[in-house]
Amino acid sequence: MRKLALVVSVALLAGLIVYLYALNKQRFDLIRESPPQETIELWVSTPTLVELAEQYESKNANVRIKTRYFYNDDVLLEELYGAVSAGTPPDIAEIGSRYGIFPLIDMNHIVELGSLLPPDLQRDLSPGIASRFEYADRLWAWPLGYAIPVLYSNKSLLESNRFNLEGVDSWEQLWQFATGLMGKTRQANAAIWGVHADMQMPWYLMTMYRQHHASTEGQNTKKLTMDDFPEWERAVRTYKLIPPLTHQLAVSQFVKGEGGVLLSSSEKLPFYEKLIAKKFEMDVRVLPGIGSQSSQLSTDGSSYVAGGTGLSLFRTSPHQEESLAFIQYLAQMEQVVQFSLGTGYIPARQSAMQSEQLQRHYTQQPIYRMIAQEGASSGRIPVARTDRERWQTLQKIQEQIETEQ
């Protein structure tokens, strides 16, 4: 009996060993057959891109995206220039449309995307934002979305003092309007200013300049001076509507109810809505023009300078095929719409505005439709060697206007 039990035990043990070996071999085969992971390094300053990267990763088991998030695009750009100099750039980086891309093109650090992406996708791009990533008639970054300068107003403050922006069509009318508002409201609250403007003043000055000069010819080479910006000079020096050199505080002051009008970017609308909540009712309007005899932005959107963001692919990337696939994924309609809804940007692809999701969004919140329609006709201003120098010149002119009074 003992002998039989021993035989049975040995047989069971042998069977267990064979089973475990087969199971382990099957597991090893599964691991061996699973596709290797490719790691794409992605640098971004827009939170929605982090979400989209995670979404792509979940749909593609063979790709891992290592995302590095920067709290603003200026910090990202400076870090990027340093990484490029050290020979360690990421595979893909988010690039703003203001001035950052030219050095990367000039030094041959990024891949020309126009020849790698389907022509129908490129034809669908809004010309204004596409041009901000074009140099020598070639596309160097895929545009994700864009914005235009707009006027935000404290509608509650205006109405309580019997003021209305209806019919204010020129900068001069806006300044006179804000002067009247300040004169009335400051009797009760000396902290209130007629107009605030955030940190992107060079962009707004550029738009004012475009209102005077419809053609872009020669704009990148002309030496700018204070005389090119009479509207802003009158607002600051003649009417004294704006707290000088406090642009970093403009948003917080406006949100606290200490201003009638805020000059800012259209993609900030969702952010301001959250900040203001139910403190007061806010209104959004297109920028005024330079006078009744001149083309107005409300009827001639080509005066707008589109400001937005895009993605560039670096030549040193060992994962160019996988990186390009990710950019193509973001260029698909579903992701274009998701990016627009998640950021407040106007979609870079024109056909996206006809999507069911955005049409529903525009119906529920008509102000977004107005912004998208205005921005759709933004003028073409291709990348220029002088972009960064021009931005810095505008900053100096702004400071000069606001300090030499």
Q: Mean pLDDT lowest for which of 114-123, 187-196, 227-236, 256-265?
A: 187-196
Domain span including residue 339: 38-146+306-364
Q: Quick: pLDDT tens for 380-397.
A: 999 999 999 999 999 999
Residue 4: predicted pLDDT: 46
Q: Give the CATH number for residue 118.
A: 3.40.190.10
Buried b (16+ CB within 10 A) or exposed e, 227-266: ebbebbbebbbebebbbeeebeebbebbbebbbbbbbbbb
The residue with greater pLDDT, 32 or 258, is 258
Q: Do 168 and 209 reside in the same domain of the chain?
A: yes
Residue 23: predicted pLDDT: 46
Q: Do 59 and 156 reside in the same domain of the chain?
A: no
Asked if the structure places residue 345 within a domain, the reply is yes
Q: Mean pLDDT lowest for which of 196-210, 254-268, 293-307?
A: 293-307
Q: Do 116 and 198 reside in the same domain of the chain?
A: no
Among residues 337, 366, 360, 372, the alpha carbon closest in space to that of 267 is found at 372
Asked if the structure places residue 342 within a domain, the reply is yes
Average pLDDT of the segment spanning 228-246: 93
The residue with greater pLDDT, 26 or 230, is 230
Q: Do 126 and 195 reside in the same domain of the chain?
A: no
Q: Which two tokens stand for residue 69?
A: 């998030």
Q: Quick: pLDDT tens for 133-164.
A: 999 999 999 999 999 999 999 999 999 999 99
DSSP β-bridge partners for residue 93: 43, 312
Q: Do 122 and 156 reside in the same domain of the chain?
A: no
The residue with greater pLDDT, 89 or 293, is 89
Residue 9: predicted pLDDT: 54
Average pLDDT of the segment spanning 367-371: 94
Q: Do 156 and 105 reside in the same domain of the chain?
A: no
Q: How far from the centroid of its chain's Cα atoms is residue 352's Cα?
A: 17
Asked if the structure places residue 337 within a domain, the reply is yes
Q: Do 119 and 163 reside in the same domain of the chain?
A: no
DSSP β-bridge partners for residue 369: none
336 in Cβ contact with 352 (< 8 Å): yes
Pair type for strands 92-96 and 307-313: antiparallel
Asked if the structure places residue 13 within a domain, the reply is no
Q: Do 340 and 355 reside in the same domain of the chain?
A: yes
Q: Which two tokens stand for residue 314?
A: 């670096």
Q: Quick: pLDDT tens for 46-67.
A: 999 999 999 999 999 999 999 9
The residue with greater pLDDT, 160 or 222, is 160
Average pLDDT of the segment spanning 75-90: 97
Q: How many domains does the chain have?
A: 2
Q: pLDDT category, 221, cuts 50, 70, 90?
A: low
Q: pLDDT category, 27, cuts 50, 70, 90?
A: very low
For residue 215, pLDDT over 60 is answered with: no
Q: Do 207 and 90 reside in the same domain of the chain?
A: no
Q: Quick: pLDDT tens for 258-288.
A: 999 999 999 999 999 999 999 999 999 999 9
Asked if the structure places residue 80 within a domain, the reply is yes
Q: Do 197 and 337 reside in the same domain of the chain?
A: no
Residue 29: predicted pLDDT: 43
pTM for the model stands at: 0.87
Q: Quick: pLDDT tens for 321-354.
A: 999 999 999 999 999 999 999 999 999 999 999 9
Q: Do 129 and 278 reside in the same domain of the chain?
A: no
Q: Do 260 and 138 reside in the same domain of the chain?
A: no
Average pLDDT of the segment spanning 102-128: 96
The Cα–Cα gap between 196 and 250 comes to: 5
Q: pLDDT category, 219, cuts 50, 70, 90?
A: low
The residue with greater pLDDT, 305 or 303, is 305
Among residues 147, 146, 163, 145, the alpha carbon closest in space to that of 283 is found at 163
Asked if the structure places residue 6 within a domain, the reply is no
Asked if the structure places residue 341 within a domain, the reply is yes
Asked if the structure places residue 191 within a domain, the reply is yes
